Structure 1
């Protein structure tokens, strides 16, 4: 294990004003996205869509890394340059999603466990050869008012995250540890904070037990936010305050960066919450983003699968990256939404 390499890559991903594009949608997920714009989901349409984003001029100012899917890591731009090589040449670090998805936890039908540890050591070695320098594993934590998650589900998912992280660091791949407390339910912000606290506490117990070098990993948590069905929604300030309070209690300062998932928030809400947290800084760790839909939704809306719309799609992508880059420094405001990127 090359600890210096792990530290260097982790810090580079969350360098000043930079974050991560999560372009690692599974086959069924990307099909849903394409269905929403009435585009056939083929290997070529998926390749072209990712190429649009990866070749957008100027985004290297705001992207420290891109998480790829297995198929995408093996694909190339139209000139034949492998995507991993293309990204690296722009100073953007290629990463790879390595989990096999969340399945029902045996004997606990209301909860899930992420699969994919079998054969992971060999897959990581291949991904390293293909150019990946970091990886991602997502644990899914369901929430209700009282009974879910159970301590068992939290322990099982935390243990799997730690095993994955150890296998990554063994081959000098930076692990992104993603314990996602879902925002689908009717629970309030207090319930989200309590569950997120329990989850993070157990995750770091397991990471310590597995001898993870904290300086060579990144954490990808949910923000502390009410469930989408909750009648009492929280202000931007309340979300930022509760999230930072929770993280300061449970995330060691040795971790170089926290890269939030957007978790179903709108693009503007995800950026606004990130900005509010950075306005409350400085924090012990870099406070950054690892967004999928919150960066891509405007791109899909502009592109619509039409090559004539490629320039507009790239403009939309650059603008979204730029706004999140500004949020990294606490310099974003809602008034910037819809502003042409050149005028920001």
Structure 2
């Protein structure tokens, strides 16, 4: 492990006003989204869609890193150029999702444990050789109705930390993603309690596994009420609750926090990130880490709905993708507003 190289890469991923594009949907997830829009669920359709994304003009102005899936990192543009090369030429750092998904956790009904540690060292070595410079592992935590259990939190925290240690050993920056899910009717305050507990356990395990905090990125959820909660707090209330929670549990050594969108609309995700940055500009509100984004659907969905598998729609889809990425770039500067959505 070259610690300084990892630290430099981690800082670059969250530098300035850029963020990450999560385009790491599994084949099954991608196929489900295609099916809803009448797009063929084939490898070629997935390749064509990913080519649309990586060739979007100007994407590197807003995006610092792209998280790929195993299929995607091995694919090529129609002209034979590897996607990894196209991404690098766009000024974007290639990354890779390395977990194998969240599975039912034995002894813990309604809870999940993320798998993929078996053989991970060898897979990381291969991804590094292909061109990846960072990786991602997602754990999912359900809130509400007696959940989460301590066993679920501890098991996922340990897996995240073991993954992170293996990444750094292999020369990859780990993106650590413990997601408290939006599903349910839990309150914003309950989300804050669970998020705080989860992050405490995750950082306990990161310390135990000797992970270099300066060479990692945290990818958490924002602190939000459940989707079916009767009370839905304002953008400003969400921003305040999220920042207060993170200040209590995320060490200053971590260079950056890149929020997942977690099912939020693109507009809400941008607005909430923007509100955090507006507050961070106050002289009394300086934050120890960068606040960035690592969005998937909140950037991709409009483009996918325009494209629908039609080659003649590629340019319009790319314009929509660039627009959403630009909105999040503006949000990182505290300059996003609803008027941008009418352009």
* Common fold: TM-score over 0.5: yes
Tell me, in whole angstroms, the C-alpha distance in 2 between the residues paired with 1:123 and 1:237. Answer: 42
Q: Normalised by the size of structure 1, how large is the TM-score?
A: 0.97
Q: Whole-Å Cα distance in 2 between the matches of residues 222 and 81 of structure 1?
A: 35
Structural mapping, 1:309-320, within 5 Å: 309-320=313-324
Asked if 1:174 is matched to 2:178, the reply is no
Task: Report the Cα distance in structure 1 between the residues aligned to 2:75 and 2:167, rounded to whole angstroms.
Answer: 22
Q: Which moved more, 1:213-222 or 1:32-41?
A: 32-41
Q: Could you say which residue in structure 1 is the equivalent of 2:160?
A: 161
User: Which residue number in structure 2 is paired with residue 77 of structure 1?
Assistant: 77
Match of 2:47 in 1: 47
- Give the match for residue 296 of structure 2: 292
**C-alpha separation in 1, matches of 2:9 and 2:41:** 33
- 2:31 counterpart residue number: 31
Instruction: Spell out, residue by residue over 1:297-344, the C-alpha distance to the aligned partner (whole angstroms, 9 max, x if none).
Output: 1101111111000110010011111110000110000121131xxxxx
Match of 2:116 in 1: 116
Q: TM-score, normalised by structure 2?
A: 0.97
Asked if the contact 2:274/2:336 (under 8 Å) is kept, the reply is yes
Partner in structure 1 of residue 18 of structure 2:
18
Partner Cα distance (2:279, 2:53) in 1? 31
Q: How does 1:179-190 map to 2 (within 5 A)?
A: 179-190=178-189
For the aligned residue pairs, the C-alpha RMSD in angstroms reads 0.7
User: Which deviates more from structure 2 when the two are superposed, residues 214-223 or residues 85-94?
Assistant: 85-94
- The aligned length equals 338
Q: 1:17 touches 1:61 (CA, 8 Å); kept in 2?
A: no
Residues 263-312 of structure 1: per-residue CA shift (max 9 Å, x gap): 00001001111101111114211101000000011101111111000110
User: 2:63 aligns to what?
Assistant: 63
1: CA distance, partners of 2:176 / 2:49: 27
What are structure 2's unaligned runs of at least 5 residues? 281-285
Partner of 1:342: none
CA deviations 1:225-252 (Å, max 9, x no partner) are 0000101111000100000000000001
Q: How far is the alpha carbon of 1:85 from its aligned partner? A: 1.1
Q: Once structures 1 and 2 are overlaid, which stretch shifts more, 175-184 or 78-87?
A: 78-87
Q: Which residue of 1 aligns with 2:143?
A: 143
Verify the 8 A CA contact 2:59 2:90 in the aligned structure 1.
Answer: no
Whole-Å separation in 2 of the counterparts to 1:7 and 1:91? 18
SS at match of 1:337: helix
> Are 1:305 and 2:309 an aligned pair?
yes
Which string of whole-angstrom CA distances, capped at 9 and with x for unpartnered residues, describes residues 58-109 of structure 1? 1101100000000000001112111111111221000000001001111111
Task: Please tell me whether residue 210 in structure 1 is matched to residue 209 in structure 2.
Answer: yes
Q: In structure 2, what is the Cα distance between the partners aligned to 1:50 and 1:63?
A: 15
Q: Secondary structure at the match of 1:225?
A: coil
Match of 1:278 in 2: 277
Runs of 4+ in 1 over 4 A off after TM superposition: none
SS in structure 1 opposite 2:177? strand
> What are the Cα deviations for residues 136-166 of structure 1, in whole angstroms up to 9, with x where unaligned?
0000001114x21011110000000000000
